[in-house]
Structure 1
């Protein structure tokens, strides 16, 4: 059995995970036994038969050699347990030499290390959510068995590299307001247009499906997936098994009701599995219903969010107060806000706001249509036909249509659409009004072929005032004259009457229809209608949407000054490659006259990575000068100064940027850390960098988006706006090799009116004073000298203190 190899990677709660492989018989899936190291007692057993992407990257056959085993007790650390496969004790990850060492300088090495770290942390995040879900299930009396084994068609998806080019389309998770197979409307149209440009779309349906009611579905936390077209994957989430099929828990059937904490956890755990499977660490979330925001802030906190607000959600009578409050929170916290009408645009205040109205699929609606047997009985009609299609609900003015139909009793009115929410008994319907029911999208042009005039008879309520009607563009693309009530969004178009006539009363509406049927629909008039529609297509809207998407990831320049300590520099850069998950950054490394081989390492790194540039200084001029050289070369609007004795955590860069952009008055922001002498220090202990990632995540997740305004930030890691540099200049190089230059800069920034904040949801590991090694005398002399310089400049000394708050200090 000497051909057995593998790792015991870690333990989270009562879940142990790792991998094992028998090289002599790769088809054999090994039995894994987890034992107590001291007593030898068996704590749990299972098979190493689950897929994991990083195993494929390291050449582990088909990669289906991972295990997750639930233990019968809670070990306090990895050191307490061992994993045995075929009589061989597996190596623990912290002592493994199988992965490439940090001394290997190739970009392939960096990619593999990044992939391993991504997989481990994504797996840990999923396992943590699974543990919470199981705990809730147990409280409800649900013996839920979750192993998350993937179906065959979901295995071996290509891994997203740690950094993709900014110009390449990315991955989007569309949290829709309707299912993909429902009426083909804005959510599907926007998704389809973006998919055509190369975006990978994960379209999450609004309605949930049942999980096996037995409570033992082995794929309970895997959503149902279906490829609906190129670059679009339809995602359908599952209800908790306890409620599936019960029929009395309507709030669990879809996203429209505000989810409870337990429901949000259940749904977010499924989405976390999706992110792990398809490597969506750098995806952008497009939220189309406020309740999705509760899901994202429960288990998907790292995702950038665009809120696509297409409806006045408070205008729907079934909308709860919780959903309305969630929308306020979403609108204030989203990273970009898209609204579809002037009414909605004016409802919100946001510093990254886009007005992107609806559009039409011009090629479909303008093409020559063919008659359809569905409408055969109306094809021989000699009287004018007046058409409407769409929802016939509470906002549809049925009385207006009935009154107009009575006045125009020789006209035929065809109304296509669901009448759910409309009281048909409240109005006496004339015989010349025909309800056709729902019409498939691919038959709409056949209906329009019959139409002499198309109508939009909506009530002037807030819900409709907030609506930019898709129908106006579709009707005109088909070359049809339109009559509408005086909707603000149509009035704002200021169109000629040959395109659309507006009416406020039944008499005006009837007169407008008569005029529309009698006018000369010449080739020029039809062409004018179609020309307007051609300028308002979904492809046109896609270009605006690209602006919103591109605004999420503006270019950021990271400046790393380094003087010797090559090992620290390597670890810092490897952590950047693994955990930045940001597709648009430049890395500028300033070698401040290093003598330990750093120069050769950085030059090779620069040759292999287009986003990395190196500045080499002949003399060691100090921290401020090195930072200034880096900032002088950078062209980005956002800058980061990062010490080379740091290691970063997942999504650190985006979370700092999110805090910096939250308010125009914020000029600088920084993370919390393990070692510093101010309010940024937290109480945290860990033995390895892997443990650091997990323990810091536990701390920061509980403090999602929390910030604290302070007088000073330490520059071991700080993000600042280019505007600050323009206003107050670069670091003061009079402070020489180091100390007090960051305090000086913070004073200057505050005097210029900028605020400084600590981001409690970002942790950066810091070695502290690595640059000066063990030379305490040199450090003390520098501090004393620069304190004198600072006091002479400002008339006071800075006094730093720890935060008087639980978990800090």
Structure 2
């Protein structure tokens, strides 16, 4: 019969419902249970009974066997079967045991039993021990199985025959066989199994170790086996005479059969009497075993009680001693209490005085806080006004209108001056008029020289002014530079000045500084000056946080036009001076306005991040050229940060490396109530808002709020730049405070009963992630907002309204719910505590670390000169290239042991490839082999007689990203025959690196166009390689391949350039010098002829003119 049929629910439901009882199912279940009980070792029965272990009878059918187990052994048994009809019948018939309908083979999630018992079940499965593994998961100590044994003529429903060969001692590492007993059930009357049954007891291995199971536990098994052997021997001894009798009977006839039958009956009776006696002896032995175990248990309990009583006696003795000590202490305290009573009255008086002083002190502190806040506000306004004045005075329009201002006051001035002349003439004539006029002129001239046009207030912290530094035109004087800082400096190219309204730029800058970075906050306000330079303001004495103002001619505003080329050049020169002053070796550039794009992308920062805070096109007054520049910045940025989901979708059009880093709140500034807070004189509920009141502010919605809640105060805090005050002036319950300093915001926030965000729905607000929501929630306040995309992240913490009517209804609900439950307030504050600016800076840092690096393949061609090869490879590994660097080494059949070294070197480096040419294929052929094997997006042809410097590859890659027309690029070097050569002073490689930094750091972002890049080091993007193809191999061993390839690059419409911010040390012609002077000359002349046949007369390379004025050279 098919296994899937036998073990199906449908099969057994039909059996239990129709023919189970008619086929003797009840009797068989009880029969096998009794066989199992008889074969069960006494120690197991006692273990289950005494420790009250739980037992599962798996495959219990209609519960007849389960009832027998519970009745005979007093076990706590639960019968389990997957057949519903069977379990229903069992529950109706028996109450001693529990019954559940479950299928343990479906791996249900349920608690374990201590023991799983199963009678005549596993033989129905083709893989019984796999089934054992499944049911054993539901037993914590034992699995007991009763199975047909040596059933060689199998029943139709049985799938397997169990014998000594297929019963494992350890079915799996967790289980071990600890007991087994074979029972011949043919001798029973009545017998429902004409064969043998075997009882198997498996125990968890960990339990065996704890139980110390021994051979003595097999005693009962050995006794039963001995009895069985005796019975079998007795039977054999009886069978022999019977056989003889049969032979004799054949001879003597039918008369002896009666005698033999009588003898057979007598012997059978004797055998039954012997078996019965054996059973009684076994029972007596079991009882004695139980008594012995009981006595041992009682002795152990008695010993435990003695230990407990001894510990209790010791504890009582200790408590008595403690009580005695307490009694002595109490007596001493009683003596002191008499004198303390007289002191208590005077102490109470002193407490009253202290309380009065504390209240007076609190009042004074509150007043001092108010004065401090007022002073802070005035200082803030003073700096803001000074900034505005300096910006105004620096504008061209102010200077051009100076004559008009002078002319505006001229009529009154002329009248006064005519009266003075008339008076002088009357009282002294013409001489007196001339005398007085000269004195007046001298006095006015003296005053104008002594007094400046505008006196600006002193800054709150020291300001350092930097001026341009003149450098010599000759070789750089080498100054030892500091090693790179562990953390990069952060250059924040801001959209606002630091002293403007505190917003995202200031918060991010401060948290970067708190994270250990030096932060330089570049203000959008320039200082008007003809020469480049900068000024520094330290913003916090406890943090490395500075505001930098760059000097730019006519101080242009960044909001109204793109920077002119002269402005870019002056800003870059100012930044060069600034980096010289700051000693910056590593930097991140955080750009917050597109105006800075031409500057930030040339600083060779490790990461250029564009912080897309707003949808600038939504402002409506941004020039098209600035929007185009912003798009360029978004495409070029290494990391494009969006503050909202709307901006994320917009940003992904331009850049794949987009990270959403939303706004946040400075939780510690808002989570604690201030000592002083706004109080409405009339005690009304306060519905409040703080922030800018600009074109996105919905004045009509606020007007409806004022109408709907006439008994509440509508308190608006912020600068009104949209004329909202005029629209709301008709409402007596609306109060507009104006702009206040950031530190003053909690004073008003904690007076708001309900906070609101009444914005218009427009492109600008659809993209915004309001900072104030985080601050509202940081105070635990109730918030009602118009429905914007960014509100979804706040969930139930913010009430959302899609229309004006819904907004009014949500405010009504918020007011009705007051005071808010502590649980809700805690949820709001907990959310805000996890959304701080420190979290956002950490997100910035993780996003920067996760950015993919450009894949660059450096092809190093070697031919002998092993020491130089080692220096080259060592520099590639030690000097941080800032890219994902693949090193492809091609050896041109070296004869100095280079191949053996390179094999060993490449074997331990997963980023290295080694190609060993069987013959010297020349410079072009060898490099072509490496170029074909390279996988990088940028390919570098690098001689083995070079040594690279820190950041070399990243800087060269950045030039290609900044200049799409650039086709191939080389570095500066100490030794080459063209414009890339610069004068150097170093005498060894250790001193080369600091001098290289001095040569290149002032030239960040600079490159110039030249005719030919020498191929000791040349980088080309894969697009150039695919366009121009491999190097021409017509030139044999070498010479003129670089000239030839550069002509092909130029013919393709691309530019050949040299980076002035990358320096590579070069030994020059180390391989060619091995050829000898004459062979080199012949090779040079032959290859020149090949070159000129293709490209015309060769133009010899030239050195650069060192007297030329330094400039920010680039190309269109």
Query: How big is the shift at 1:634?
Result: 11
- From 769, 783, 792, the equivalent of 1:468 is 769
Q: Which residue of 2 aligns with 1:15?
A: none
Q: What is the rounded CA distance, in whole Å, between the counterparts of 1:707 and 1:470 in structure 2?
A: 51
Q: Contact 2:664 / 2:771 at 8 angstroms: preserved in 1? A: yes
Q: Is the 8 A contact 2:469 2:577 kept in 1?
A: no
Q: Is the 8 A contact 2:508 2:837 kept in 1?
A: yes
Query: Which of 518, 528, 546 matches 2:845?
Result: 546
Aligned with residue 582 of structure 2, among 239, 258, 278: 278
Hey, what's the Cα distance between the residues in 1 that align with 2:1097 and 2:717?
67
Who is 2:508 aligned against? 190
From the two aligned structures, give the one with the greater helix fraction. Answer: 2
Aligned to 1:335: 638
Equivalent residue number for residue 511 of structure 1: 809
Superposed CA deviations along residues 121-174 of structure 1, whole A, max 9, x for unmatched, are: xxxxxxxxxxxxxxxxxxxxxxxxxxxxxxxxxxxxx7344xx7xxx4312211
Aligned residue for 1:178?
496
Residue 305 in structure 1 maps to residue 617 in structure 2? no
Q: Deviation at 1:669?
A: 7.3
2:701 maps to 1:397? no
Change over 3 Å in CA distance of 1:486–1:687 after alignment to 2: closer
Given the alignment, which residue of 653, 658, 667 partners 2:953? 653
Give how far 1:510 is off: 1.5
Shift of 1:807: 12
Give 1:441's aligned residue: 742
Which among 679, 684, 687 is matched to residue 383 of structure 1? 684
Structure 1 gap segments, 5+ residues each: 1-66, 72-76, 79-92, 95-115, 121-157, 244-248, 676-680, 746-754, 785-797
CA distance in 1, matches of 2:627, 2:482: 38
Q: Offset at 1:533? A: 3.0
Is residue 482 of structure 2 the alignment partner of residue 159 of structure 1? yes
1:209-245, Cα deviation, whole Å (9 max, x unpaired)? 466xxx89xxx623223152555332332445xx7xx
CA positional deviation for 1:513: 0.5
- For residues 838 and 931 of structure 2, the distance between their equivalents in structure 1, rounded to whole angstroms, comes to 39
Q: Determine whether 1:232 maps to 2:538.
A: no
- What is the correspondence of 1:562-601 to structure 2 with a 5 Å cutoff? 562-565=862-865, 582-583=881-882
SS of corresponding position for 1:293: helix
| Secondary structure, aligned partner of 1:252 | coil
Matched-pair contact (CA < 8 Å) for 2:645–2:790: yes
Query: 2:750 is paired with a residue of what secondary structure?
Result: helix
Name the CA shift for 1:489/1:69 in 2 (closer, same or farther; >3 Å).
Answer: closer
**1:769-805: CA deviations, max 9, x gaps?**
65343368699999x9xxxxxxxxxxxxx9899999x
Q: Write the mapping of 1:97-136 to structure 2, written as runs, cut at 5 A.
A: none
Pairwise CA distance, 1:287:
0.9
Q: What TM-score results when the alignment is normalised by the length of structure 1?
A: 0.58
Query: Which residue number in structure 2 is paired with residue 56 of structure 1?
Result: none
User: Residue 558 and residue 347 in structure 1: after superposition, are their counterparts in 2 closer, same or farther (change >3 A)?
Assistant: same
RMSD (Å), alpha carbons? 6.1
Residue pair 2:899, 2:916 contacting (<8 A) in 1 also:
no
Contact 1:707 1:757 in 2 (8 A): no
Q: Distance in 2 between matches of 1:256 and 1:410?
A: 45
Distance 2:566 2:767 in 1: 33
Q: Is the 8 A contact 1:337 1:350 kept in 2?
A: no
- Does the 8 Å contact 2:781/2:828 carry over to 1? yes
Paired with 1:671 and 1:801, the residues of 2 have a C-alpha distance of 23
Task: Say if 1:432 and 1:586 are closer, same or farther in 2 by CA, change over 3 A.
Answer: same
CA contact (8 A) 2:665 2:771 kept: no
**Rounded Cα–Cα distance in structure 1 between residues aligned with 2:687 and 2:1102:** 69
How far apart, CA to CA, are the structure 1 residues paired with 2:648 and 2:1017? 40
Distance in structure 1 (CA, Å) of the matches to 2:885 and 2:647: 37
| 1:511–1:204 Cα change, 3 Å | same
- Distance in 2 (CA, whole Å) between partners of 1:330 and 1:412 is 46
Quote the Cα distance in structure 2 between the aligned partners of 1:170 and 1:563: 40
Seen in structure 2, the aligned counterparts of structure 1 residues 693 and 196 have a Cα distance that, compared at 3 Å, is closer
Distance 1:639 1:625 in 2: 16
Choose from 831, 838, 859 the match for 1:532.
Answer: 831
- 2:683 is the counterpart of 1:346: no
1:425-474 C-alpha deviation (Å, 9 max, x unpaired): 24545122222222332333332222221111111222222211112222
> Whole-Å Cα distance in 1 between the matches of residues 832 and 639 of structure 2?
27
Contact 1:411 1:432 in 2 (8 A): yes
Aligned to 2:623: 320
Aligned to 2:101: none
CA contact (8 A) 1:672 1:758 kept: no
Count of residue pairs brought into register by the alignment: 604
Instruction: After TM superposition, give the deviation of residue 363 of structure 1 in Å.
Output: 3.5
CA deviation after TM superposition for structure 1 residue 352, in Å: 3.9
Shift of 1:392: 1.1
Question: Quick check: 1:700–1:760 contact (8 Å CA) kept in 2?
Answer: no
The correspondence of residues 17-36 of structure 1 with structure 2, limited to 5 A, is none
After TM superposition, list the pairs within 5 Å mapping 1:11-50 onto structure 2: none
Could you tell me how far 1:176 is from its partner in structure 2? 1.0
SS at match of 1:436: strand
Distance in 1 separating the partners of 2:812 and 2:683: 15
Cα distance in 1, alignment partners of residues 865 and 655 from structure 2:
42
Which string of whole-angstrom CA distances, capped at 9 and with x for unpartnered residues, describes residues 247-278 of structure 1? xx6x6366665433333333332221111122
Corresponding residue number in structure 2 for 1:222: 534
Q: Taking structure 1 as reference, are residues 599 and 178 closer, same or farther at Cα in structure 2, changes over 3 Å only?
A: farther
Q: Contact 1:160/1:279 (CA < 8 Å) preserved in 2?
A: no
Higher RCO structure, 1 or 2 (CA under 8 Å, sep 6+) = 1
What residue ranges of structure 2 are gaps of 5+ in the alignment? 1-467, 986-994, 1046-1051, 1087-1092, 1104-1116
Structure 1 position 660, deviation (Å): 6.9
Question: Shift of the alpha carbon at 1:288?
Answer: 0.5
Q: Distance in 2 between matches of 1:346 and 1:478?
A: 32
1:226 and 1:234 in contact (8 A); partners too:
yes
The superposition leaves residues 284-324 of structure 1 with CA deviations (integer Å, 9 ceiling, x where unpaired) of 21110111124446x74778522111012223344333322
State the alpha-carbon separation in 1 of the partners of residues 980 and 618 from structure 2.
Answer: 51
1:671 to 951, 959, 969: 969
> Does the aligned pair in 2 maintain the 1:286–1:305 contact within 8 Å?
yes
Q: In structure 1, the residue corresponding to 2:571 is in which secondary structure? A: helix
1:292 aligned onto 2:581: no
Alignment of 1:359-758 (within 5 A): 359-361=663-665, 363-364=667-668, 367=671, 369-373=672-676, 375=678, 377-378=679-680, 382-490=683-791, 493=792, 495-505=794-804, 507-519=805-817, 521-550=820-849, 551=851, 560-565=860-865, 582-583=881-882, 640=940, 642-646=942-946, 652-658=952-958, 670-672=968-970, 684=979, 688=983, 716-718=1017-1019
Distance 1:315 1:707 in 2: 44
Moved more, 686-695 or 185-194: 686-695
Q: Secondary structure at the match of 1:516?
A: helix
* CA deviation after TM superposition for structure 1 residue 514, in Å: 0.7
Could you tell which deviates more after superposition, 558-567 or 583-592?
Answer: 583-592
**Equivalent position to 2:524, from 197, 206, 228:** 206
CA distance in 1, matches of 2:869, 2:855: 23
| Residues in 2 aligned to 1:547 and 1:291: alpha-carbon distance in whole angstroms | 26
Q: Quick one: distance in 2 between partners of 1:759 and 1:324?
A: 31
